[in-house]
Every structure is written in structure tokens, then in C-alpha cells.
Amino acid sequence: MTKLLLALISVTVFAAGPKTPVAKPRVDTATFAAGCFWGTEEFFRKIPGVMETRVGFTGGTTPHPKYEETNDGHTGHAESVEIKFDPAKVTYDHLLDQFFKMHDPTTKNRQGNDEGTQYRSAIFAHGAEQMKEAKAFKEKVEKSGAWKAPITTEITEAATFWPAEAYHQKYLVKNPGGYDNHYLRKISFDK
């Protein structure tokens, strides 16, 4: 009986073969501001290849800002969403395309009912390659004429991202039907 059990174990181990390590996906980061961060996060978290999102504040000067501090625009921060994505499944270029279609990039410091510098349209580039891609894509959008007014989106280097309070994270998942003015416009930037 013992010999039979050892033989079965040997056959099982041999048949299973050596374990091959599973490659972890590469994770890149994108940071966008497009008005109220609740709707911006909800829009991007649904894109296949987006692995994680979180809302917060960036682009200003106040360390560890709270929502109440940024609400009056004096911190310089924009309500933003930080996106972790797998570039093998979704490209930065596709995220830029969706960004320029999901909000109005022609209204300076305003989206829907929200007004102030904290609601500005902005791309916070993580590195030289993203900076180059973002500038080129903005130029493509401007040349396409899809938006009938000048693009006001600012493009700057990513700085410290300060996460917002927990109740803001995945807000529209927790509060279905909450305020959201983000949607995909049926426009094209290809001539």
C-alpha cells in the first residue's frame, strides 16, 4: 500500500511538471482632472485595463489638503483621479482619447454646475513620455475641430497626489444616482 501511494505521488508530481511563474502585469499611472472627481473616477474605473482608481487632489501647494480646504479654490489643487492601468490592455493614448471626450475641455475652471480652479481640466503627466503624448494628443484634439472652442486643458508634470477622504472614494458606487455630469461624447479627433 505504501509503495502504491508513493508511486501515485511520484506520478502526480511528474505529471504536474514544474510550476511556471505567472508574470505580473505592468502597472502605469495616469492622473486627470475633469471637474468633480466623483464622475471622473466612475467613468475611468469602468474602462477595461484600468486596475484601480482613487480620487484626490494635486497640482496645488497645500500639503495634505482636505476637501473643505480645496472647495474654495485657495489650495491650487484640482479634484483629480489617479488611475492605475495595465498598458498591455489599455494604452495611455486611449485614456487620453476618453479624457477629451468625457468632459468639456473648453470651459476654463468649470464643468457643469462646478466652478473654480479646483474643477479645471488638467493632465498631470508621469514622466517625459506621457508629457509628450499628452501634448501631442491635445494638439490633435485642437486641430480636429471636434470641440468648437479653444481647449483650456493644462498639462503639467505630476506632483504629489493627496488622496481624498474615504467617503469620496468610489462615491458613485456607494451612492448610485449621485451627482455626475461626465459622459462619452460621440465625437472624433481623426480628420
Look up residue 53 and give its amino acid: T
Nearest to 101 by CA among 53, 137, 56: 137
SS3 of residue 139 by DSSP = helix
Tens of pLDDT, residue by residue over 142-183, are 999 999 999 999 999 999 999 999 999 999 999 999 999 999
Q: What is the distance between the alpha carbons of residues 123 and 41, in angstroms, rounded to a whole number?
A: 14
Which uninterrupted H or E stretch holds 94? helix 92-102
Q: How far is CA 113 from the centre of its chain?
A: 22
User: In this prediction, what percent of the chain has a pLDDT beyond 70?
Assistant: 89
Q: How many CB atoms lie within 10 A of CB 174?
A: 11
Predicted TM-score (pTM) of the model is 0.87
pLDDT attached to residue 3: 56
Is the predicted pLDDT of residue 9 greater than 70, yes or no? no
| Cα gap 29→126, rounded to integer Å | 7
Whether the per-residue pLDDT at 67 is higher than 90: the answer is: yes
Residue 99 host element (H or E): helix 92-102
What pLDDT is attached to residue 73?
84
When the pLDDT of each residue in the chain is averaged and rounded to a whole number, the result is 91
C-alpha cell at 109: 475652471
Alpha carbon of residue 175 to chain centroid: 20
pLDDT at 121: 98
Catalytic annotation, residues: 36
Reported as a single tens digit per residue, the pLDDT across 48-65 is 999 999 999 999 999 999
